[in-house]
Every structure is written in structure tokens, then in C-alpha cells.
Amino acid sequence: MRAGSVSFMVVQLFVTCLVDGFAPQVGRATVQVLEANGQTVEFPFDQTCCGQPALNAGFREDARAMAQHTVAVLDGTEGPIVVPSGSCADMMIHRFGELLSSGPEAAAAKRVANRVRELSQYLVHDLGIEVTAAGDTSVAVHKSCHGLRGLGIDGEIEALVDGVEGVSRCDLEGADECCGFGGLFSIELPEVSSAILQTKIDNIIASGADAVVGGDVSCLMHIGGGLHRQGSKVETRHIVELLVDET
């Protein structure tokens, strides 16, 4: 793929816990796509969790400490902070300021938040990339809750999918509805989570898609686990994998 109007040359990759621990191929694909579009990707090695799980569990002080650390690591870097997750990007953009609302760290939290860009938004709006990948499959797009409602990601992933030659996009009923994961929600209310997931799986299978594409590994792991347990051959893929693997 080729870049349109490149606004920046150096970017920081905040890879997220789930990508680091469960989907390293998403991190590698993110670097490959960014570099192919003229970006120099830097990776601050002291980065850890953004603190969202702790905050969701009610451990506000632990979340605050994690936010402090992340801000300290990233504030001394330069360029956009690219995050392949709407969930983590939403935490960094909207929650860091709440957790770090006073003193000198408040200004640093604001500086960091202003630099954070979710990956699909960065590719479409900041870089204006021209997709040159090609493939032979059909996909359905799942819209993750934090990305859609927190960041307004609505159409970016579809635009990237539509740019991949030979890949068709299937209509997915309830594409903007929760998959049932919701972090700790799926642990605290497993029966409700499973019911929501089953509706999502039924809609995916009904769409006729070969794969489900999204922007959050968390949702894709949850959906993928449900599909696997039911013996479905439908795959789950992060959007950036589609842009790399289909070339």
C-alpha cells in the first residue's frame, strides 16, 4: 500500500497487552504497514498495560499508577502514538486525564492523550493510505464498542477492507452490537456474556463470511473462541492482518 499525504515520519507503537501476549502477528503487521507508508516506527520498551482492566475492576489507584507510568514513558517521545486497539486508545485518550487530573502530570497526560491515534483512524485519516493488497475471501466487519462509541470509529475499517482487491464485504446484522466480551463483564456475568456472544456468532454465520475482521484483539479472541467451540471454520482477523497477509 502507498501513502497519500504523510503527515509524520516518526511514530510510537503502543502495542497493548493482548497483542503482546496473544497476537504478536498483529504487532508485526502494524509495523510492516506503517513502515510501508513512510513511517519510522519506534517502540518504547518500558511500556506496560494502560490500566484499563484495573480501572474496570474498581482498582482506581492501581489504574492511576499504570497511567502515570505510561504517560512518563510516552511523554518523552515524539510523533503520534499509534494503538492497534480502540479499547486501549479510548482509555489513553479519555481516562488518563481523569486519573491524572492535577499537578504537572495532568499536563503530561493531556499531551500524551492528544497524540494517541487508533490504528485504522491513523491509516485512513492521517496517512490517507492507498490499499494495494489483494486477496480472495469474504469478510464481515465487527464494530468494537469502545472504538465505535468512545472514538467514533465507524467506516474506517470498512474503507480499508473495501480497498483490498478480491475481498468482498458481507453485511453483518448487528455489526455495531457488543460481542459480549466487555473485559471483566464476561467473567462477572458469564451467562449474559455467552448469550450476547451467541447472537453475534449466529449473525456472523448467517452473513456467509469466511472471516470476521475488527480493530480489537479482545473482541476477536472472544468471537473466535465461540466460533471454534461450535466447530465453525470462520476465522477472525485484525484489520491490519488483512492488509498484510492478502498481498
Beta bridge partners of 130: 2
Residue 186: CB atoms within 10 A of its CB come to: 18
Assigned domain for 3 exists = no
Domain with residue 157: its CATH number is 3.40.50
Distances from the Cα of 22 to the Cα of 16, 25, 50, 89, 236, angstroms: 10, 9, 16, 18, 13
Q: How many domains is the chain built from?
A: 2
Task: State pTM to two decimals.
Answer: 0.93
Assigned domain for 109 exists = yes
Are 27 and 52 contained in the same domain? yes
- The pLDDT, as a whole number, for residue 246 is 47
- The pLDDT, as a whole number, for residue 247 is 40
Would you state the cell numbers that stand for residue 234, as one nine-digit string? 470462520
- The pLDDT, as a whole number, for residue 8 is 60
Are 100 and 19 contained in the same domain? yes
Would you state the cell numbers that stand for residue 230, as one nine-digit string? 461450535
Are 96 and 147 contained in the same domain? no
- The pLDDT, as a whole number, for residue 7 is 53
Are 88 and 142 contained in the same domain? no
Assigned domain for 21 exists = yes
Please give the residue range of the domain that contains residue 115: 10-124
Are 161 and 216 contained in the same domain? yes
109 touches 50 (CB < 8 A): no
Are 114 and 184 contained in the same domain? no
Are 218 and 160 contained in the same domain? yes
Segments of the chain scoring below 50 in pLDDT: 5, 246-247
Beta bridge partners of 235: 211
Give CA–CA dist 178/191, Å, rounded. Answer: 14
Domain boundary among 98, 124, 150: 124
Give CA–CA dist 51/53, Å, rounded. Answer: 6
Assigned domain for 75 exists = yes
| Sheet-wide strand order for 235-238 | 165-170, 134-141, 211-214, 235-238
